A and B are shown apart, each in its own frame.
Chain A
């Protein structure tokens, strides 16, 4: 019985961790190339979820899964072009405050448009069932979430590895000046990179909508674990973020077997230990952004 419970919760933590990964990768992309901590990431997540809710009656669930994040990313581009861009190269304090203010506006506008009351958003019937009576906690929807996250992460890493733009983004993370000197349009690169990050947030929003209640405040709760995932994995390292997200998800899941009320605190304990033992994070490189 106990081993079963541990397995259950470990698996469950993996799903939660996968979700953190999606959020944290988007945050990490933007942070690495542009040095901006995007506090409004949770706001973009909510927008993605709500857009999918609005679109689904017209175009169905599956198209919404792509269209809603794309629209969110377009919103992200508008904001990057008009506001965030002006702060590149300035003290990180300013971009932090800007996105912090944007987070307020996002939450409030979501409430003004879609109402303070949560809205019902259900994935298709065949997804919201358990695969078997014994493994009741493994619903098709959860497997589907895992699959989407897996595909998204795979696509992201392929993109960064094998496309010219992806290679430039990675190079820019390491040494933006040289990349710029080589004639790459850094402004466009950053905009595109921002859009990719926001797309991931929007996608996370659609996935979360099927599992949680769609509420204006939904984004704020997942923002902090995503931060921790980045710190644990190591700032500057996308694979690190991936590992960090899964690690804290599983740790939180396992802790809930024994100490449910400490399941959130445990991720911060992990962070403190990592900072003590290996200050740059699990897979961070010395000297990057520290």
Chain B
């Protein structure tokens, strides 16, 4: 099997991040954040970029993943892998149920319905004080060291270990998504994206495919959410809010939603930009807004799409 240069390059950058990040005035927590939000953006893009369906409420599944993870650590058992699994389960089940309800909608309508349903989960997290902690968020849990049998990895106190743990999770999720997209199933999704009517005439069960793509996307999204909860030792209703969904979409578009790695690049640029802008000016929100406008008006194909086009020209 041939090694693909893009995968090798990205792996090197990510694996070595704890070494080069401080050189550019970064810090490890920032790297971990990029990985987590990058995974979220890539999960969203599974649906957005490779199935052609616009969900604007995906933060709901991100947040559900975070709460599921927190609940498991707080009430079930002090085990990190179990917590991630619980987070994914919660997000995936919710995605499967809602997906079935909205899978026939398209375009703007689909976007509106996903936003509105996303807000349902936001309100549940926000209001159900006794369970979720309401506006104060879910506290009182912390990530636990990973017991591998022969050794323990202390991700609880060692941030570098946490970074590599998140990187491993990221690699597994991204690898699975890559495999799925190369499979016949993935090809069908592309066919639906390119021309839904034609795909329908070919006798493909469009709704089932879109539903499955939605569910897969939610599963990885909630995994990202679970990792986010582990990173902060905290789950917060803001993680489910539609503004968070907007951030994920802009990450995917900013990086380039037609390319596999685009959303990761978009997440990196977005997170770093937000981090540095908000240290420089209190009006950083405006600058983020201006970035939205510039991307939409001048770089609709995202950074990777823009670069690719330039190299072709």
Contacts and interface: CB of A to CB of B under 8 A. Distances in A.
B292 A265 contact: no
A105 B263 CA distance: 23
B105 interface: yes
Contact of B108 (A31, A86, A107, A276): A31
A87 B253 CA distance: 15
Interface string B284-301: 011011111101110010
A265 B54 contact: no
19 contacts: A92-B54, A93-B54, A93-B253, A96-B108, A97-B292, A101-B290, A105-B285, A105-B293, A108-B289, A112-B286, A227-B115, A231-B113, A235-B109, A265-B124, A268-B117, A268-B120, A279-B104, A289-B108, A289-B109
Interface string A81-113: 001001100111111111011111101110010
A268 B113 CA distance: 10
B123 A98 contact: no
Contacts of A104: 285-286, 288-289, 292
B101 A276 contact: yes
B64 to A, nearest CB: 15
Nearest to B246: A100
A225 to B, nearest CB: 10
B279 to A, nearest CB: 16
A112 B250 CA distance: 24
B237 to A, nearest CB: 13
Contacts of B286: 104-105, 108-109, 112
Contacts of A31: 108
Given A97-B253, A108-B285, A289-B108, 18 more contacts: A92-B54, A93-B48, A94-B300, A96-B56, A97-B296, A98-B296, A98-B297, A100-B246, A101-B288, A102-B292, A104-B289, A105-B290, A235-B108, A265-B120, A265-B123, A271-B116, A275-B101, A290-B106
A100 B307 CA distance: 25
Interface string A42-53: 000000000000
A69 B163 CA distance: 51
Interface of B: 48, 54, 56, 101-102, 104-109, 111-113, 115-117, 119-120, 123-124, 127, 242, 246, 249-250, 253, 283, 285-286, 288-293, 295-297, 300
Contacts of A86: 297
A97 B108 contact: no
B289 A272 contact: no
- Interface residues of chain A: helix, strand, loop or mixed (majority): helix
Contacts of B242: 224
A228 B116 contact: yes
B293 A98 contact: yes
Interface string A211-235: 0000000000000100110110001
Contacts of B289: 101-105, 108
B105 A37 contact: no
A264 interface: yes
Nearest to A272: B101
A35 interface: yes
Interface string A123-147: 0000000000000000000000000
B116 A93 contact: no
A4 interface: no
Given A83-B297, A108-B289, A112-B283, A35 B124 contact: no
A83 B123 contact: no
A261 interface: yes
Can you list the 9 inter-chain pairs with the closest CB atoms, starting with the nearest?
A101-B292, A104-B289, A105-B289, A108-B285, A101-B289, A108-B286, A92-B108, A268-B120, A98-B296
Contact of A231 (B116, B120, B253, B292): B116
A242 B250 CA distance: 32
B58 to A, nearest CB: 13
A223 B119 CA distance: 12
B127 A261 contact: yes
A82 B249 CA distance: 23
B101 A97 contact: no
A96 B248 CA distance: 13
B125 to A, nearest CB: 11
A275 B114 CA distance: 12
Contacts of A108: 283, 285-286, 289
A218 to B, nearest CB: 15
A20 to B, nearest CB: 13
Given A96-B56, A265-B124, A272-B101, A290 B109 contact: yes
B249 A97 contact: yes
A75 to B, nearest CB: 15
Interface in A254-278: 261-262, 264-265, 268, 271-272, 275-276
A162 to B, nearest CB: 29
Nearest to B104: A279
A275 to B, nearest CB: 6
Contacts of B246: 39, 97, 100
Contacts of A228: 116
